Each structure stands twice: as C-alpha cells, then as structure tokens.
Structure 1
Amino acid sequence: MLIRISIIFLALVSFFTISFSANSQAQPSNSCTSFSGNGINNWYPFVYRKDDGQLTGIVVDGTQEALKRIGLELEIDNDKPWKRILYDLEQGNVDMVLGAYWNKERAAQYHYSEQLGTDELRVFVKDGKQFPLTSPQDLIGHSGMRLLGGSLGDEFDTFASNHLDFIEVPKSDSIVIMLQNNRADYGILGYVEGLQHIHALGLEKTIVPLNMPILSNAMHVMINKNASCAHHVEDMNKAILDMRDDGTLQNIIDDHLSLIRK
C-alpha cells in the first residue's frame, strides 16, 4: 500500500513539474503585448521630441503604425542622450532604438527593421568657408564634426577612420554652434536636421550646406534580439512593407516633412 501511494505521489509531482515547465516556456509569448523604445530628441524629421516632450517623427509614427497592425503597442522611454540610448538597447533596458543606419557590426548584434525612410546627409560649413566637394576624398585635410557614438555606415566609417580628422559631438545642434565658433571646418548632419537646427538657432545667414549630398542612408529601427516580442520582428517588417505598398508610409513621410518646413 505504501509503495502504491509513493508511486501515485511521484506521478503527481512529475505531472505538475511538466505542466509548470510548459507554462513557463509559453510565458514570453503570452506576455508579449508591446515593444519599449527610445530615440534621439532632435533627428528631424525622423525622430524628435515636440515641445511637450512627446517623441514623434517618421520612424516613430511608422513603427507605431506597423506594430498596431500586428496587435502590439510602442512604449516610449524618457528623453536621454544618444550614447545612453544605445547603452540601454545593449543592456536590454529598451527593446528598440528608433532611428539608426545599418552597419555590419550592429546587424550581427541586433535585428533591423525594414527601411522607414532615407536620410540625405550634407556637409555644413560656415558661410565664406565653402570648399569644393565631389566625393568624401575632398574632406581629407579639413577638420570635421560628427555625432558622438553615431555610425554613418560601414564604408564611410572605415574611410573616416583611416583618412579623416573628426571631433565627436554629443548633440547634433551643438555641431552648428561649434561651426559658428570656428571649432572645425565642417560638420556632417542630415540635410533636414541641419536646416532645422540652423533655423532654430537663427543662423540661416551664417551656416550653410554644401551643394552635394555626402551620403544617402536608409533609416531603420534596431531591435534587441532578447526582447520579449523579438519573435514578432518578421511580422512588423511585413507590416512595414504593406505600409509602403498601400501609401501609408509615404503619407507619414510627407506629413512630417510639411511640419518641419513650417
């Protein structure tokens, strides 16, 4: 009798252990309702904060719409510097960084979204200090500025590391101020982003872009591979492609460009 009771007890323990294990494995999928994300506060028109602190922009709105189509939400973190946002992604404090260029090193570490826009980058200089620009080689011998922790793509990053003299600046609008103060010969910024900073600082007659774009980079979202909803990245990317096909993404792009130009 005692042996029979022991067998029944062990069978029950085994059953509940297996059930608990199965439920624990299913938990991440069941608990996945949203992605947390953050982005730099002044990367116009892709990612920026309004006067009330709300994060918006082409990438933000495009991501929100794509997630909405697959039944998920986007929760935005508090305003932080770019380097801290990248650190938060690496540590898993946020699931995604809203707005990033593709490079090989990051792609090995994170998932990338489908393209949500294209950023045309220009070389900005102080008026009167323009120089001929037909290729990145023309930057050699000039002192430049770029965003601290920013990647401009594998090819340009490698070229810059080998041939260019850069100061890395924590905030992109500071690049415009430093150009005014003759801290460097040029700064690289997104075209719309740079014009917005110039306008906000009242420096339209002082800081100008050179005519030729130096780069044209696709805009993406980077996603931590260990995020609880990471298994939905493929679904999100399909939604982005659908938005491109049905015109939704272009409408978002046009809306933000019209707001920035006002």
Structure 2
Amino acid sequence: MRHLVVLLTFIFHVTGSPLFAQPSPVMVISGNPEAPPVAWNKQGKLQGVGPKLATDILSQLNIQYSIQPATDWLQVQQQLVAGEVDLIVSAYKNKKREQHMVFSAPYLESPVVAVVKKGDRFICNCWEDMIGKKGVAGQGESFGDDFDAYIKDKLDVTYTPYQRAFEMLEEDTADYLIIDLYPAIIYSKLLMVEDKIEFMEKPIVVQQLHMAISKKSPYLDQLPAINNQLKQLKAAGKIKKLAIDQYNSWHKTFKERQHFYAKAQKNASDAQATFNAEARDRGLDNLARFIEEGRPYMEGGTGH
C-alpha cells in the first residue's frame, strides 16, 4: 500500500495533475425571463438575443454550458452573486452590480422610455419634469448609476412586476412608467393595452446591454475571448439583425397564442350561450326530478 501511495505521488508531481482529473464544470447561464426579444422564457426555455448570442459564442469557444431558465429577474441576479449562475446573458452595468460581476463589452443599445396612459401626456424634456409625479418601474430593474441615483434622490417611483405597472397607469395610481423600449413594446401587446398608452417623445436614457460573469465563476478568464466574439458580431451587424429576428420569432408565437386563445374563448362563449339558452328547460327538468317525483334522500339522510 505504501508503494502505491509513493507511485501515485510520483505521477502527480511528474504530470502536474492528479491521475484521475475531475471533469471541467459546465458553465451555467441564465437571464431576465421577462425581457423579450432580448431574453424571455418560452415553455420553460430561455429564448432571445442574449441566450442565442451566448450559446453561439460558447459553442465557438468549445465551452460546455447549461441554460437555467428562471421566473424572477431579481432571483437570477442573486444567484449570480452567490456563484450559482456563471453568466447572465443581458444586463445593464452599474456600480452596485460591479461589486459582484464583471461585464462584457456592450453588444446592444436599449433606450429607456417613459410610458403614460393615453391622453395623460405631460411635457417631459428632462428628468426634472418627472418630479412631483408618481412613477412606477419593473421589479429588479436598473437604469444606470446616474438615473438610478436620481430616482432615489428626486423621484417617487415604485418597483413592481410589469403587469401591475401597466395596471397602475390604467388606475391612475401612477403617472408614468419607466421601462426599456423592447419590453414596453412587447408587454403592451401581451396585455392588450397598445391603444391605451402613449410613449413620451424623448428616451429617458440610452443604456447598453452587456453579458455579465460572476466574480465567483471559474470562467472569468474566458471574458476576453467572449468580448472578441461579441465585437466581431457587432461590427458585422449581426446582433441588430438578430434582435429583429428574435422579435419576429416572439411576435409569431404571440400571434399563434392569441389566435388559439381567441378560438378557445369563442368556443367557450358559444357553449355558454347554448347552455344559457337551455338553462330554463334544464332547471325545470331538475325540479321535476327532485321535487315532483319525490325522490328519496341518499342513504343516511334524515329527510328533514
């Protein structure tokens, strides 16, 4: 036994690695589940510009990966901080996030816009025009260090899920919604409020989307290679084309689902109308069965 230990020790020192090397870990990637066409969950799978870019680049670099879908954007960020997720496919850069993650080169511009209830537009040429009004924004969102600080110091903004944010506009419990252009377009369609909202003329700020790697990830040293791939794709105009393709993909799915639900709703409506038309007769039939015929109670009943 002693000779075996000596032999293994000798092999380790000569080769510089254990005799039975552990397999390399798989890079875990995730992203915002509610930000189409950049990233969104489709039947439990993460889709969009970010996931497509990340998987194409990692395949090119021969890095094994696993895509972890999520239901909550804030949770995804917390998992990255904890090292449970290696790479987020799209995120804005700010100082708070830079404490726990390292950002790639920017790959796509994303205007941040102000959305208001139709007919409720106000003059808004600068951030100061929002002071004194009630704002709302998506839960877990950041809009860059400067505007985040301005919100905290000067504005009255509540953070909530997108659906609730649009509801607050409708209810007049919020005067404006701060939101990225892409999800603003998408969610106004999903929630069928396109005809009930308006976009303010000027974007609040224009952000850059990055990939981000956890500082606890063993893949940090791959960032230069990832950046090189991103820069090449961006210079070739492929990322903007991908954004349009992913939007069209999302919209096709949306229209198919819309058609399906409309058809299902019509069938249900028709069935209900038929039932309503016959309801009086069915009611009389049941009265006859249970009252006029004097049917006995189930076994155990008292009859009173």
Q: TM class, shorter-chain normalised? A: 0.7 to 0.9
Q: Determine which of 218, 230, 233 is the counterpart of 2:223.
A: 233
Aligned to 1:147: 138
Aligned CA distance change for structure 1 residues 38 and 10 (closer, same or farther; 3 Å)? closer
Letter in 1 for 2:155: L
- Retained in 2: the 8 A contact 1:59–1:117? no
In 1: Cα distance, 2:113 partner to 2:55 partner = 28
- Structure 1 residue 97 displacement after superposition: 1.8
**TM-score, structure 2 as length reference:** 0.74
Q: Determine which of 59, 65, 78 is the counterpart of 1:68.
A: 59
In 1: Cα distance, 2:218 partner to 2:103 partner = 16
Q: Determine which of 21, 24, 33 is the counterpart of 1:31.
A: 24
Aligned to 1:42: 34
In 2: Cα distance, 1:237 partner to 1:130 partner = 41
Aligned to 1:3: none
In 2: Cα distance, 1:108 partner to 1:194 partner = 29
Aligned to 2:155: 164
Aligned to 2:168: 178
Aligned CA distance change for structure 1 residues 88 and 144 (closer, same or farther; 3 Å)? same
- Structure 1 residue 254 displacement after superposition: 2.5
Aligned positions of 1:18-167 closer than 5 A: 18=13, 22-23=16-17, 31-32=24-25, 34-50=26-42, 52-167=43-158
- Retained in 2: the 8 A contact 1:58–1:116? no
In 2: Cα distance, 1:113 partner to 1:243 partner = 14
- Structure 1 residue 109 displacement after superposition: 2.3
- Structure 1 residue 19 displacement after superposition: 6.1
Structure of greater Rg:
2
- Structure 1 residue 129 displacement after superposition: 1.5
- Retained in 2: the 8 A contact 1:119–1:190? yes
The DSSP-based 3-state class of the residue aligned with 2:99 is helix
1:217 aligns with 2:201: no
Alpha-carbon RMSD: 2.5
- Structure 1 residue 65 displacement after superposition: 1.6
Aligned to 1:15: 10
- Structure 1 residue 230 displacement after superposition: 2.2
User: Percent of aligned positions with the same letter in both sequences?
Assistant: 22
Q: Mind listing any 5+ residue stretches in structure 1 that lack a counterpart?
A: 1-5
In 2: Cα distance, 1:248 partner to 1:78 partner = 25
- Retained in 1: the 8 A contact 2:34–2:73? no
The DSSP-based 3-state class of the residue aligned with 2:137 is strand
Number of aligned residue pairs: 250
Moved more, 223-232 or 134-143: 223-232
In 1: Cα distance, 2:207 partner to 2:85 partner = 24
Aligned CA distance change for structure 1 residues 192 and 9 (closer, same or farther; 3 Å)? closer
What whole-Å deviation, never above 9, does each CA across 1:130-158 have from its counterpart, x for those lacking one? 11111111111111111222211011111
Letter in 1 for 2:104: S
In 1: Cα distance, 2:169 partner to 2:93 partner = 27
- Retained in 2: the 8 A contact 1:40–1:81? yes
Q: Mind listing any 5+ residue stretches in structure 2 that lack a counterpart?
A: 253-304
Runs of 4+ in 1 over 6 A off after TM superposition: 8-11
Aligned CA distance change for structure 1 residues 150 and 27 (closer, same or farther; 3 Å)? farther
The DSSP-based 3-state class of the residue aligned with 2:17 is helix
What whole-Å deviation, never above 9, does each CA across 1:55-86 have from its counterpart, x for those lacking one? 11111211122212211244211322111111
